[in-house]
Amino acid sequence: MNDLRYQVDYLTAMNKKLSDSEKMYRMVCDMSSCAYLYYSYKDGQITLLGNWQEFFPMDIRHIQDLERIFEYIEEEDAERLGAVIHSETPSTEKISCECKLRGKKRWLECETVVMPDEEGALASKVIKFRDISRFKQQNDELTYMAYYDMLTGLYNRNYFVGRLTDWLEKAKKEQSVVSVMFIDIDDFRKVNDGMGMIMGDELIQAFGQFLRELCSDYVMVSHFNSDTYCIAIYDPCGTRSVDAIYKTIQERIAKPFVLTGHKEIEITICVGVAEYPESADNAIALINNAEIVLFKAKSIGSNEIQYFDAPIIHDFLHHVQIENMLKGAMSQNQFLLFYQPQYDVASGKLRGVEALIRWRDENGKLISPAEFIPIAEKNGSIVSIGAWVVEEAFRTCAEWRDKYGVRLIMSINISAIQYKSKNFVSNVISLMEKYEITPNEIEFEITESVLIDDFSEVIEKMNLLREYGIRVSLDDFGTGFSSLSYLKGLPIDTLKIDKSFIDTVITDDSTRIITESIVSMVKRLGFETVAEGVETEAQYEYLRDIQCDNIEGFYLGRPMPKDEVEQILTAQI
């Protein structure tokens, strides 16, 4: 009797323990954000746990009722979901899939585990549904960030390069062509500086949205950086040819973009075009070549398009080589000065010399200033190079004065960038004191390009230099934006007549009339005249006849090293 009672008590306790465990499991399931379906193969019983009604507002009493789930799932996901929930393969490993609720922005993950009994027969199945909407949203955002530019919604640079690589592999198999257009908005910095970065970003977006309209199975567009975009065209022809797309873009930018506050802004663009397989055999090289010819287009002016050409690439690579060589030229003392004599026409005596920089590279080859000066001006190294020229010219001027007892005018070319530096005048004065230079021995030559950006500031510096007694010369008069009318307002001492006039002054009546007018007018204004590029006796005689003050040119002296000038000075003593 006692044994029976003990067994009853034991079974009661076990049932209570099982009942408590079931309550605990149900509580855990209900507190989770998941829904569970438990199916027993032995008795066909189905148990629903967790937040089932939140996902599927339906009851499932029999295993056949599972088919009703597909009423709530998007059709394109039904096949994947069916394979998971209908799985009958015993395993402790779960199988899963993702599906979307029909008509909603909710994504579910479905997992199924089918458990065998000790003999290997089907025992039970557990199907779990979990809301992964937040995860999918985050994943979609990461995917978007990986593929698209956040500002414009266009492909970003990395994804564009990857897809272009795929296109080139396809083009190689199909023996087709792929064109790349590298696009840059002209003077975009002025938009940012004048209207602010927010308006600049809005313009980038507006132009990018327009370019997105060009996209198709054969055309893809990327926002590369700031104001640059890249378009790739597979098998360009007809309306998707480079010319057709460029024309479409030109038609759009002919009208202003309307930004916030009804502000209107008009833009122009420059475009560089390179094509596979003509210009490159891989995506990076193709894009680089398109960018290189873009630089060529921008050097021509605004609203230009330039197509790949081998000489352009050669020139660019040479440009890069010169720029790299420039970095060590100063520290390796590769620069030197040549001097071109200037003669007084009336007396035939040496007026002075013009200091001209030369660059002898590590191999002893002379590199023309026409090659490296524009590059130095672009990368800013002209400031340090120019400072070296000024000091070397001052040092030489002082040396000649002490050695030969002569006072020559040392003419020194000053670049626009060098002239506009804040410490230019103070540095010049310090060097004059260092070498005990008399101010009227120095003449700074400036071109009209110096006057273009900030006329009033330039005039102020010119006046300051002349207050110290330094001479100022206007170089290359007759080129660029030369105007006789503004001469009266310039604080200069000398005007140099450009070689282009002297070249044809003997043979062309119009040139002769203009030259004579310049000389006559300049004399009345109290300026001194120097004619550049005098190469023949006839030119010399003519300039003397019209009373030009000084000449400079090959006829009386080419640019020469320091020791050859010293021979002239020795002969004049």
Residue segments in the chain with a per-residue pLDDT below the cut of 50: 8, 10, 13-14, 16-22, 24, 29
3-state SS class at 264: strand
Both tokens assigned to 123: 């025992």
- Which among 92, 37, 96 is positioned nearest to 69, based on CA atoms? 37
Q: Provide the 10 A C-beta neighbour count for residue 286.
A: 29
Task: Please name each of the domains of the chain with its CATH number.
Answer: 32-137 (3.30.450.20), 148-308 (3.30.70.270), 319-572 (3.20.20.450)
Both tokens assigned to 207: 């132009």
In this structure, what DSSP letter does residue 347 have? T
Q: What does the pLDDT read at residue 271? A: 96
Pairwise CA distance, residues 27 & 208, whole Å: 54
Q: How far is CA 31 from the centre of its chain?
A: 55
Q: What does the pLDDT read at residue 2? A: 54
Radius of gyration for the alpha carbons in the chain, expressed in angstroms and rounded: 41
Pairwise CA distance, residues 338 & 409, whole Å: 15
Q: What does the pLDDT read at residue 407? A: 85
List residues bridging with 225 in a β-sheet. Answer: 228
Pairwise CA distance, residues 165 & 177, whole Å: 13
Pairwise CA distance, residues 513 & 499, whole Å: 15
Both tokens assigned to 349: 């005596």
List residues bridging with 506 in a β-sheet. Answer: none
Q: What does the pLDDT read at residue 163? A: 93
Q: Provide the 10 A C-beta neighbour count for residue 216.
A: 11
Burial per residue of 326-351, b for 16 or more beta-carbon CB atoms within 10 angstroms, e otherwise: beebeeeebbebbbbbbbebeeeebb
Q: What does the pLDDT read at residue 10? A: 46
Query: Does residue 257 contact residue 265 with C-beta atoms inside 8 Å?
Result: yes
Q: What does the pLDDT read at residue 58? A: 85
3-state SS class at 316: helix
Pairwise CA distance, residues 416 & 524, whole Å: 28
For 456-471, the DSSP string reads: HHHHHHHHHHHHTT-E
List residues bridging with 221 in a β-sheet. Answer: 231
Entry pTM: 0.62
